[in-house]
Structure 1
Amino acid sequence: MLLKTVLLFFLTALAEIVGCFLPWLWLRKGGSAWLLLPAAASLGLFVWLLTLHPAASGRVYAAYGGVYVATALLWLRFVDGVKLSHYDWAGAAIALGGMLIIVAGWGRG
């Protein structure tokens, strides 16, 4: 269940990041306005994926935040080509640790 949840969080974060990145390309980098169509689809996918998580929405959003931080940093590294610092990696580890604590408590209280 934990692996499934983390994978679902990762896919959710990726859908959100793509949905925000494409309009940024259009507005800041002179990309085509056609980028807004897949951006809207990606944000729709993001919202739908959030509904698949097995806990109350507030806890899902709190736990999702940790995975979002790590995913955004991976995007920064591999898509934007920015080298991550030790502080970036430490922050991602702490955020993921917080997510794991929240997920471990689902259904226990």
Structure 2
Amino acid sequence: MPTIAAYLGAALAEIAGCFAFWAWLRLGRSALWILPGMVSLALFAFLLTRVESAAAGRAYAAYGGVYIAASLAWLWQVESVAPDRWDLLGAVICLTGAAIILYGPRPA
């Protein structure tokens, strides 16, 4: 699985899983929201292992930038709150850092 697809799938799964708990604990939804939330979080963990990286810590660090950008997309699409310019600037900075971590030259 290509790295970008793994990261995007993992981000969607993590955000959806965490949002299920948010809905239950903060929005007063049924505790049954926990079940799909747990499945989604398990999918997140699985997808993150599909990232093409020899080191888990490096894969997780680069994922952080993708997670931040995906969270802002969730904010906009699911919660109907448009990110402001500071959100977008922060996401660009984080994605730049993620790309440097993931694709920077490494000694052989």
TM surpasses 0.5: yes
Gaps of 5+ in 1: none
Alignment length (residue pairs): 106
- In the superposition, the TM-score normalised over structure 2's length comes to 0.91
Q: Percent identity?
A: 50
Which of 14, 17, 20 pairs up with 1:16? 14
Gaps of 5+ in 2: none
Match of 2:98 in 1: 99
Match of 1:54 in 2: 52
| Matched position secondary structure for 1:83 | coil
Match of 1:84 in 2: 83
Q: Which amino acid aligns with 1:6?
A: I
- In the superposition, the TM-score normalised over structure 1's length comes to 0.91
What does the per-residue CA deviation read over 1:32-66, in whole Å, with 9 as the maximum and x for residues that have no partner? 11111100000110111111112110100110000
Using the TM superposition, give the Cα deviation of residue 10 of structure 1 relative to its aligned residue in structure 2, in angstroms.
Answer: 1.1
Runs of 4+ aligned residues of structure 1 deviating over 6 Å after TM superposition are none
Distance 1:72 1:14 in 2: 8
Distance 1:40 1:50 in 2: 15
